[in-house]
Amino acid sequence: MKRLAIEGEEGFVGTRERRENKRYRIKSGIAALMLENSSKIATIIDISSTGLSFVIRQCEMRENSLLEMDILLLDDIRKPDNDIFFPNIKCTVVSTDSFIDHVTPYALQTMTRCSVRFDAAIPLDSCPVHRVAGKKAAEFQVKRANG
């Protein structure tokens, strides 16, 4: 298998980090996002103080549309006081990408990956995000490139 090049190396074809704020990759299965215009819950992929990306099942999202959402980052189900909650966050959709979920082949469903920019920054850096975050996105990319 061919090794992926790291940003700055010749042959790098991945995406360069475009965000100016620190981005946290969220551990699988511990974060949820509730959209105001539907009763759907989305899974957060990564988050920064100025935006986030998430995956949601069967939901139409259009670029440049406005959303309001509640963000819940779960630390430990036995310690709800450690959860991080940001209610009524207004944001703008900056990109969407639909794909077919192949996890359950008997019930293929359309999934949408969506990135949003918050209208006002959230105080993420003052929260204990390390409890709910995996590796930072840049560390994740380097490991993937070397691994």
- Mind listing the pLDDT tens digit for each residue in 19-40? 577 888 887 655 666 766 666 7
- In this predicted structure, the answer to whether residue 12 has a pLDDT above a threshold of 50 is no
Among the residues of the chain, which ranges form H helices?
137-146
The answer to whether position 17 is within a domain reads no
User: In the prediction, which pLDDT does 70 show?
Assistant: 85
Dist. CA 76–CA 124, nearest whole Å: 18
The answer to whether position 5 is within a domain reads no
CATH number at residue 54: 2.40.10.220
Instruction: Say how many domains are in the chain.
Output: 1
User: Can you give the pTM of this predicted structure?
Assistant: 0.68
The answer to whether position 41 is within a domain reads yes
Dist. CA 85–CA 137, nearest whole Å: 22
Q: What are 88-128's pLDDT values in tens digits?
A: 889 999 998 888 876 666 667 788 889 999 999 888 777 76
Q: Dmax over Cα atoms in the chain, in whole Å? A: 48
